[in-house]
Every structure is written in structure tokens, then in C-alpha cells.
């Protein structure tokens, strides 16, 4: 049975364009539209949609306020429809914290034709929302500066050659929040690919940096991989890791999309297999599609330890499922265990290396 979709947007043009796009997909059925949250609430009660597309800026009540009320009263999968501005980036990230499953960005120019160009992405994300599991948003905390300064020289020496490589897509912003806020200040350096468009990754990195004991930043070309630091691939650019003398650094740049994504998890994981080998610990988190499966297999074959988020805790069990099926996953664990298992794997690998060096 097609998933029932309610479109909520104050623009009549956007309502019509979205209705045309979604109505042409046999797996989706547009049950109605609404121009503001008050009208939307009445239609939700009457039509019981499976998925809601929700604009951020609307009259009488903004999208965030409505989303928060909706998730308390009648939790429903929501796809945010956002403009690409600094303020809207922050608002959209807050919407994901409140329970929205994913988002699409409105084109800056020629809204009608630009939106039609995004038709495949929009329909795919709406269908992913229809299948998604909702998870309770985590508590948000801000880490004081003190714990960041606790990184000692001994920890730096032990963690220098271990690198955590993490890939995620749909549902990944909240999954990454849970994983990264669980890492101690002296954790091995981390490299992260989260499927996001340009503009959003910088805002996302800043949010993570304010919540984590490790430092988190949007990667720049040539950044070194350091213990206690995480580098997030910039939206619209691939990120690769390479050896630079006795340490590691990242290369970010253009390139053809891989698995329809740029940044791509496969690009990072394949570079980790080549440059890091046994010094890499890989994790693939919630997301739709198969990005990362081939790269994780390459990491596994190069001697890296690998794990995947289990189905029960994924918003969408697409990427982890494909990685498991490809044969590149050592362990399948719940989201709240991933940070601990990655750290344990890094410790075990470092211990083996020390034992081999001393024997």
C-alpha cells in the first residue's frame, strides 16, 4: 500500500510542485496539503498521514514549534523542507534533534524547476521516512572546557596511530551525537562522513563540538588527524585520509559522486584501507542505500576492525545491512555500545602492535 503523505508549506507553488513529484511515485500517495500548522493539525487528525513534509518558515506558527508539538502529541515521520541559509541550517539541525527524520534543501533560484531537479532525492527521502524508526531525542548538554584540556602526553602517544572512521546517512546526525559524546577527550582521532549538502556540515560540526569532550570541526584540506579531534567531511566534497610522514592527514576535494553521494563513505573507507590498514577502526551507522559497504569490506580485508549499528537501533537499516551482507563487518552492535566497542578495538589493536614490536 502506498505511503500517505501530507505536504505542509505556506507556498502554493511548493505545495503543487511537491504534490506533482510525490504523486507520480507509485509508492506514495499525497492525501492532502496545508498552508500552515493549524490547518495541518486538522488534516493530520482527519487523514492520518504516514509521512509529513514540513516547511521551516510558515505563518502563525513556525515549523520548529509545530514539530515539537507534533512529536509530543502524535509522533509522525517528518521530512523537513529547508532553505540553505546559516539560520535555516541551525533551525534544520534543531528539527533533527526534535525528531525529524531527514531534510531536503529548497533551491535558491528558480524554485519550480530546481525542485523538480531534486525529484528523485525528495521521493527517496519521503519513502525512507515512511520506513524509518523514530527514536527518542537524546538529552542535549554542553561540555565545559575543562575535560578537553585533560588530554595527557601518554594518551597522545598511545592514540597517535589509531583512527576511528565513521560513516552515516539518514538518522545519522543523532546517531553521531550519541557516539561522539560518548568518546573521552583522549580518544583516537576520528574521521566522519555524514551525507549532508554544503553549508550544513559546518553548522553540524559546531553543534557537535559544543557537546563533546573531543574537538569536532569541518575538515579542511591538509588537516592532521589528531587524538581527541574529529574531522567531519564538508558537504559537497569527498574526504580521504593519507599518510603524511609519521602521522596522517586528510585530503578534501571535488570528484564525481560515489553511490550518488559527495561526500561518500566509500571514498573515506577505501582510503582508510589503503593508508591506515590495521590502524583503522571502522563503524557504519544508520542510513539508506549501500554507501560504505564496499569500502568497509576493503578495510576489513586490509586488517582493520569493523562494526555496524544493529537494526533495532537504526532509523534506517540500509547501509549497515549492505555492509553486513558484503562480509566486511566484524561485529553488529547497538548504537549505545558503538563508542565503547570502537575504543576497545583500538586498545586491542594497539596492544597487539606493542606486543609484536617487543617480541
Instruction: Write out the catalytic residue numbers.
Output: 169, 195, 291
Cβ pair 177, 138 in contact under 8 A: yes
For the record, the C-alpha cell of 147 comes out as 575535560
- Give the orientation angle of helix 293-301 with respect to helix 265-275, to 10 degrees: 10
Within the chain, where are the H helices?
12-23, 37-47, 63-73, 86-98, 111-117, 119-131, 153-159, 172-180, 200-211, 265-275, 293-301, 319-326, 335-358
Q: How far apart are CA 166 and CA 182, in angstroms?
A: 14
* 3-class secondary structure, 329: coil
Cβ pair 52, 76 in contact under 8 A: yes
Residue 199 has a CB neighbour count (10 Å cut-off) of 18
Q: How far apart are CA 137 and CA 94, in angstroms?
A: 11
Query: Can you say how many angstroms the Cα of residue 55 is from the centroid of all Cα atoms in its chain?
Result: 21
E strand spans, 278-321: 280-284, 305-309
Distance between terminal CA atoms of the chain? 63
* 3-class secondary structure, 147: helix
Q: How far apart are CA 90 and CA 229, in angstroms?
A: 22
Q: How far apart are CA 46 and CA 31, in angstroms?
A: 10
Amino acid at each position: 500500500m502506498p505511503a500517505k503523505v501530507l505536504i505542509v508549506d505556506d507556498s502554493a507553488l511548493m505545495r503543487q510542485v511537491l504534490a506533482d513529484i510525490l504523486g507520480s511515485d507509485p509508492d506514495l500517495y499525497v492525501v492532502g496539503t496545508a498552508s500552515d500548522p493549524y490547518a495541518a493539525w486538522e488534516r493530520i487528525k482527519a487523514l492520518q498521514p504516514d509521512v509529513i513534509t514540513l516547511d521551516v518558515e510558515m505563518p502563525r506558527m513556525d515549523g520548529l514549534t509545530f514539530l515539537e508539538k507534533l512529536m509530543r502529541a502524535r509522533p509522525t515521520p517528518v521530512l523537513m523542507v529547508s532553505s540553505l541559509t546559516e539560520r535555516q541550517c541551525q533551525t534544520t539541525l534543531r528539527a533533527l534533534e526534535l525528531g525529524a527524520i531527514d531534510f531536503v534543501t529548497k533551491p535558491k533560484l528558480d524554485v519550480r524547476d530546481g525542485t523538480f531537479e531534486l525529484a528523485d532525492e525528495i521521493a527517496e527521502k519521503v519513502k525512507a521516512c515512511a520506513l524509518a524508526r523514530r527514536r527518542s531525542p537524546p538529552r542535549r548538554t554542553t561540555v565545559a572546557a575543562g575535560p578537553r584540556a585533560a588530554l595527557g602526553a601518554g594518551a597522545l602517544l598511545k592514540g597517535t596511530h589509531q583512527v576511528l572512521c565513521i560513516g552515516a546517512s539518514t538518522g545519522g546526525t543523532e546517531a553521531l551525537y550519541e557516539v561522539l559524546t560518548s568518546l573521552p577527550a583522549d580518544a583516537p582521532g576520528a574521521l566522519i562522513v555524514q551525507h549532508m549538502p554544503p553549508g550544513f556540515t559546518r553548522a553540524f560540526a559546531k553543534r557537535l563540538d559544543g557537546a563533546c569532550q573531543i574537538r569536532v570541526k569541518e575538515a579542511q584540506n591538509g588537516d592532521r588527524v589528531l587524538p581527541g579531534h574529529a574531522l567531519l567531511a564538508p558537504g559537497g566534497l569527498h574526504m580521504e585520509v593519507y599518510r603524511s610522514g609519521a602521522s596522517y592527514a586528510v585530503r578534501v576535494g571535488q570528484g564525481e559522486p560515489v553511490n550518488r553521494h559527495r561526500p561518500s563513505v566509500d571514498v573515506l573507507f577505501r582510503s582508510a584501507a589503503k593508508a591506515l590498514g590495521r590502524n583503522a577502526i571502522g563503524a557504519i551507522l544508520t542510513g539508506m542505500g549501500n554507501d560504505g559497504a564496499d569500502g568497509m569490506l576493503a578495510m576489513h580485508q586490509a586488517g582493520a576492525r569493523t562494526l555496524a549499528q544493529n537494526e533495532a537501533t537504526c532509523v534506517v537499516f540500509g547501509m549497515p545491512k549492505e555492509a553486513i551482507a558484503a562480509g566486511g563487518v566484524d561485529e553488529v552492535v547497538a548504537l549505545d555500545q558503538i563508542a565503547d566497542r570502537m575504543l576497545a578495538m583500538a586498545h586491542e589493536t594497539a596492544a597487539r602492535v606493542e606486543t609484536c614490536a617487543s617480541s
